[in-house]
């Protein structure tokens, strides 16, 4: 595989891309735009496979709803901090590098689930994953040269949109898992899901690492 092809694949599979139809609006948005940024935050969650992979990895093995809600809340707190900090401070990082780290976080969660590999407290790890993930989006947004008027409020609203969509995803996952846990082969399903999560993290890390060097 050539470096050019690898870079193209990494760009195509970037978890922090901004849709072409949204770039014009973001670049010209001035003042507080609650509705549009709420929608874009929810859209980012739905189309961000990195969020969904990590969320599934966490929720699949949680038996108490309270623990699931705690984990889900830690992630957006983390990425709200780095999204604001990255955009306002001008901190720019190659998004392929961030996506490679995202792949590592997915792999880490898959290894941590059976409690055979654990470096730090799971909640602390999930919060740190959130801190890292949105550095990629903040760099993408800097490419669009956002107008400063209303920027802080708009970024906060964006993260509220992410949180709302995460709650919806959480409800869907919890309902689905309640049904799965009634099956006699749930352990086999859970093991298979964790193996798939591990493989997805490995593929994401490898592809984005090559893309980072190629670009």
Whole-prediction pTM value? 0.73
Contact present, 126 and 71 (Cβ < 8 Å): yes
Phi, psi angles (nearest 5°) of residue 71: -60, -45
Give 148's DSSP letter.
S
Give the pLDDT confidence score for residue 2 in this predicted structure.
41
Give the pLDDT confidence score for residue 212 in this predicted structure.
59
Q: Where are the domains of the chain?
A: 3-207
Helix or strand holding residue 1 (H, E): none
Q: pLDDT tens-digit profile of 47-67?
A: 777 777 777 777 777 767 777
Rounded CA Rg of the chain:
18
At 12, list the tokens.
């195509």
Q: pLDDT tens-digit profile of 5-62?
A: 334 434 444 455 667 778 888 888 888 999 988 988 888 877 777 777 777 777 777 7
Phi, psi angles (nearest 5°) of residue 91: -70, 120
Residue with tokens 């869907």: 172
pLDDT tens, the chain, 215 aa long? 444 433 443 444 445 566 777 888 888 888 899 998 898 888 887 777 777 777 777 777 776 777 777 777 777 788 788 888 888 888 888 777 777 887 777 777 777 776 656 667 777 877 887 788 778 788 888 888 788 888 889 888 988 888 888 788 778 877 887 788 888 888 888 888 888 888 888 887 777 777 655 55
Question: CA separation (Å) from 145 to 29, 140, 158, 214?
Answer: 10, 9, 17, 25
Long-range contacts of 151-154 (CB under 8 A, 24+ apart): 151/87, 151/88, 152/84, 152/88, 153/32, 153/34, 154/29, 154/32, 154/33, 154/37
d(CA 205, CA 111): 15
Contact present, 86 and 134 (Cβ < 8 Å): yes
């Amino acid at each position: 595989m050539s470096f050019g092809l690898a870079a193209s694949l990494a760009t195509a599979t970037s978890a922090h891309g901004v849709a072409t139809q949204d770039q014009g609006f973001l670049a010209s948005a001035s003042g507080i735009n609650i509705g549009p940024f709420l929608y874009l935050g929810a859209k980012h969650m739905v189309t961000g496979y990195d969020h969904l992979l990590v969320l599934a990895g966490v929720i699949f093995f949680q038996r108490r709803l309270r623990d699931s809600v705690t984990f889900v809340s830690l992630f957006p707190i983390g990425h709200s901090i780095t999204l604001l900090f990255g955009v306002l401070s001008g901190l720019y990082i190659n998004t392929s590098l961030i996506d490679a780290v995202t792949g590592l976080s997915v792999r880490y969660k898959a290894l941590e689930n059976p409690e055979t590999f654990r470096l730090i407290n799971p909640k602390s790890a999930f919060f740190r994953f959130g801190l890292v993930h949105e550095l990629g989006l903040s760099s993408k947004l800097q490419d669009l040269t956002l107008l400063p008027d209303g920027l802080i409020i708009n970024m906060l609203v964006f993260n509220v949109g992410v949180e709302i969509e995460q709650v919806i995803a959480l409800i869907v996952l919890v309902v689905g898992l309640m049904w799965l846990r009634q099956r006699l082969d749930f352990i086999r399903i859970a093991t298979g899901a964790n193996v798939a999560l591990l493989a997805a993290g490995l593929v994401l890390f490898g592809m984005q690492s090559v893309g980072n060097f190629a670009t």
